[in-house]
Amino acid sequence: MRFPSSSVLALGLIGPALAYPKPGATKRGSPNPTRAAAVKAAFQTSWNAYHHFAFPHDDLHPVSNSFDDERNGWGSSAIDGLDTAILMGDADIVNTILQYVPQINFTTTAVANQGSSVFETNIRYLGGLLSAYDLLRGPFSSLATNQTLVNSLLRQAQTLANGLKVAFTTPSGVPDPTVFFNPTVRRSGASSNNVAEIGSLVLEWTRLSDLTGNPQYAQLAQKGESYLLNPKGSPEAWPGLIGTFVSTSNGTFQDSSGSWSGLMDSFYEYLIKMYLYDPVAFAHYKDRWVLGADSTIGHLGSHPSTRKDLTFLSSYNGQSTSPNSGHLASFGGGNFILGGILLNEQKYIDFGIKLASSYFGTYTQTASGIGPEGFAWVDSVTGAGGSPPSSQSGFYSSAGFWVTAPYYILRPETLESLYYAYRVTGDSKWQDLAWEALSAIEDACRAGSAYSSINDVTQANGGGASDDMESFWFAEALKYAYLIFAEESDVQVQATGGNKFVFNTEAHPFSIRSSSRRGGHLA
């Protein structure tokens, strides 16, 4: 089953103006097997096309039925998609991928002198391998028929990390953003890295140390992170809101600008997720998240001049803010909600719900029903932000933003925040909004053999397919979409505490550190 718009209309989910939640209409949600099955079917359609036309290359180009190897050529869609197939209980796909894992040569790339992003390689491959290992040794152990193949997940993760760790051989220990595997393992020699790429390694590398018993991985990642937790050089804009670029030679900050979007996003995300992983060992990370979260509420939350009911997150340069944001920052709602759950602080949950609702508003306002990559507005208090281009002034009056980058590449962040909003409120309206988003994606992005990136969300048909299906479609978008309708399980986020898993920034769930290890030597 697909996600026909007609069914959404029939269910009365699209209101005349704004479809997002109005107060006082709470209806208790429950698992929805029909919708969960539709998401699973979309995953199977995507996988079958990838397997037929692209496996074991990285991404399928679903219109031309060709492929690319932009993620080192190790089969990123297969490794990124494995744990989603596990959660969906598709044993055929799981075992197809498991049999492939031992065949990957993580010590080299087919193409000589191809730079590998340490960040992308970490969150997709290392994250995917470790998550599958935790799930298949934990709540989904019945899916794996061959323990040798399960063990190879961890062995391969370690092989990969043993190559990647050359990134940390800088004078400061701040990782280099790029490494090479062929013809020799080496790092690029970059003079700086950004805080997202420095600060989104610590969860994966700490988990790898805990699983292998080798403390070196955690030590390397935590050393790099230490420069972000105790910032020196160019000052913080506000307490906890740090700059973007850090010197690899001495670990000092080179600027005081940032946002909750690219280059910075998952640094903030991981501060509170490390606390979920082990609240004793990573209490300081939580303190830094609280500082940044409070400064964000105080200084970055911004209401558009034409829609004061909306809250978006401005970017900052020192204490000067700019009202622009984008799809990547849409994860912020979910991250605030998670922080609110873990710290039992309603103010973070309330702010997170406002963000989730407002960023979903960028979906409901476009002709395609999908939010754009980038957008801007005028801040209702400071007047910062200039004015919209004349072609969009009417749109800005009603929507509260104008589009600065119109494309959509199957990104997951809005679905992710709808998922957290549903888990914390239990209100079925969030499930309905996720279904509405999925229906729009089905209508505009279903192309060729699978699902494709599109050029222009402001056109009803999406402005044409740009012929790429990124691996995060498998790993993240379809996973959060599935979980919002799926049965309760140990993997689901628990609103009242007792969480057993923590999702990395690519939506790969890891078992949290068991209490017997808490406060151990690794941190």
DSSP category for residue 504: -
The verdict on whether 204 is a catalytic residue reads no
By the rule CB under 6 A, 252 interacts with ligand NAG: yes
Q: Cα 490 to chain center, whole Å? A: 20
CB of 181 to ligand NAG, least distance (A): 8
Of 4-12, 245-253, 287-295, 480-488, the window that binds ligand NAG (rule: CB under 6 A) is 245-253
Gap between the Cα atoms of 186 and 184, Å rounded: 6
CB of 100 to ligand NAG, least distance (A): 10
Q: Site residues for ligand NAG, window 220-239 (CB under 6 A)?
A: none
CB of 484 to ligand NAG, least distance (A): 35
CB of 319 to ligand NAG, least distance (A): 23
Task: Return the number of the residue (109 or 417) whose C-beta is nearest ligand NAG.
Answer: 109
Gap between the Cα atoms of 217 and 155, Å rounded: 14
Of 41-49, 143-151, 498-506, 508-516, the window that binds ligand NAG (rule: CB under 6 A) is 143-151
By the rule CB under 6 A, 249 interacts with ligand NAG: yes
Task: Return the number of the residue (246 or 338) whose C-beta is nearest ligand NAG.
Answer: 246
By the rule CB under 6 A, 188 interacts with ligand NAG: no
Q: Which residues contact 382 (CB under 8 A, 6 or more apart)?
A: 321
Catalytic residue among 58, 69, 83, 120: 120
Q: Is position 505 annotated in a ligand binding site?
A: yes
Quick one: residue 212, left, alpha or beta (phi over 0 = left, psi -120 to 50 = alpha)?
Answer: alpha
By the rule CB under 6 A, 247 interacts with ligand NAG: yes
The verdict on whether 265 is a catalytic residue reads yes
Of 235-243, 244-252, 337-345, 384-392, the window that binds ligand NAG (rule: CB under 6 A) is 244-252
Contact by Cβ (8 Å): 205, 220: yes
Beta bridge partners of 326: 374
Tokens of 252: 């000092």
Amino acid (one-letter) located at 511:
S
Total of chain residues touching ligand NAG, rule CB under 6 A: 12
CB-CB neighbours of 194 under 10 Å: 18
Which of 66, 107, 230, 382 binds ligand NAG (CB under 6 A)? It is 107
Task: Return the number of the residue (246 or 418) whose C-beta is nearest ligand NAG.
Answer: 246
By the rule CB under 6 A, 108 interacts with ligand NAG: yes
Catalytic residue among 210, 413, 436, 476: 413
Gap between the Cα atoms of 335 and 341, Å rounded: 10
Catalytic residue among 80, 197, 265, 269: 265
Gap between the Cα atoms of 290 and 374, Å rounded: 27
By the rule CB under 6 A, 101 interacts with ligand NAG: no
Contact by Cβ (8 Å): 160, 76: no
By the rule CB under 6 A, 250 interacts with ligand NAG: yes
- Counting Cβ atoms within 10 Å, is residue 431 exposed (0-12), middle (13-18) or buried (19+)? buried
Which of 26, 30, 146, 344 binds ligand NAG (CB under 6 A)? It is 146
CB of 163 to ligand NAG, least distance (A): 10
Tokens of 466: 């740009």
Total residue length of the chain: 523
The verdict on whether 236 is a catalytic residue reads no
* Integer Rg of the chain from CA: 22
Catalytic residue among 70, 287, 294, 373: 373
Residue closest to ligand NAG when measured from CB atoms: 247
Task: Return the number of the residue (58 or 443) whose C-beta is nearest ligand NAG.
Answer: 58
The pairs formed by 149-156 with CB atoms below 8 angstroms and a separation of 24 or more are: 149/95, 149/98, 149/99, 149/101, 149/102, 150/98, 152/101, 152/102, 153/98, 153/101, 153/129, 154/129, 154/130, 154/211, 154/212, 156/101, 156/102, 156/104, 156/106, 156/129
Task: Return the number of the residue (249 or 393) whose C-beta is nearest ligand NAG.
Answer: 249
Tokens of 197: 């790429």
CB of 157 to ligand NAG, least distance (A): 16
Beta strand pairing call for 178-180 and 446-447: unpaired
Task: Return the number of the residue (189 or 498) whose C-beta is nearest ligand NAG.
Answer: 189
> Nearest 5°: phi and psi at 373?
-65, -40
The verdict on whether 373 is a catalytic residue reads yes
Gap between the Cα atoms of 314 and 241, Å rounded: 12
CB of 52 to ligand NAG, least distance (A): 23
Q: Which residues are catalytic?
A: 120, 265, 373, 413
Sequence ranges of the binding site:
505
Residues that bind ligand NAG (CB under 6 A): 102, 105, 107-108, 146, 148-149, 191, 247, 249-250, 252
Binding-site annotation, residues for Ca(2+): 505
